[in-house]
Copies of this chain bind each other. A is one copy, B any other.
């Protein structure tokens, strides 16, 4: 029998360490995926790109986001949509950041370069 719904109690999902000061919990669908990130103050997501389109929403704290050379600080309650394939990077601000993202096509985040040489 195929799935119909998946309830996401984020606190009960497996949390993966991703980068220094960054953890992530993910849920994969067939058309999209969702990841809840927790970033410590000052945590850095180096510039990277992926084919999937990316939606992000800052749940708490704030994030400095750089996309295509343009840098903005995004506060809790605000979001963004990044076209697939566009390089982007981010730095969590002094209050840290809880960040929700959705991707389509679905993807499970991995550290940039983490898979180099392994597949």
Q: Is the interface of A mostly helix, strand, loop or mixed?
A: strand
Q: With CB as the reference atom, state the residue of chain B lying closest to A7.
A: B80
Question: Residue-by-residue, is A69-98 near B (CB-CB < 8 Å gives 1, otherwise 0)?
Answer: 010101001111111101010000000000
Whether A6 pairs with B80 at a CB distance below 8 angstroms is: yes
CB distance from A47 to the nearest CB of B (A): 13
Bound-state CA distance A77–B6 (Å) is 15
Copy number in the complex reads 2
State the interface size on chain A (CB cutoff 8 A): 41
CB distance from A80 to the nearest CB of B (A): 5
Between-chain CB contacts (< 8 Å), 8 pairs: A4-B82, A4-B83, A29-B81, A31-B52, A31-B105, A32-B32, A57-B100, A59-B59
Interface residues of A (CB under 8 A from B): 2-11, 27, 29-32, 34, 52-53, 55, 57, 59, 67-68, 70, 72, 74, 77-84, 86, 88, 100, 102-105
7 new A-B contacts at CB < 8 Å, known A5-B80, A31-B52, A32-B102? A3-B83, A4-B82, A4-B86, A8-B78, A32-B32, A34-B79, A57-B100
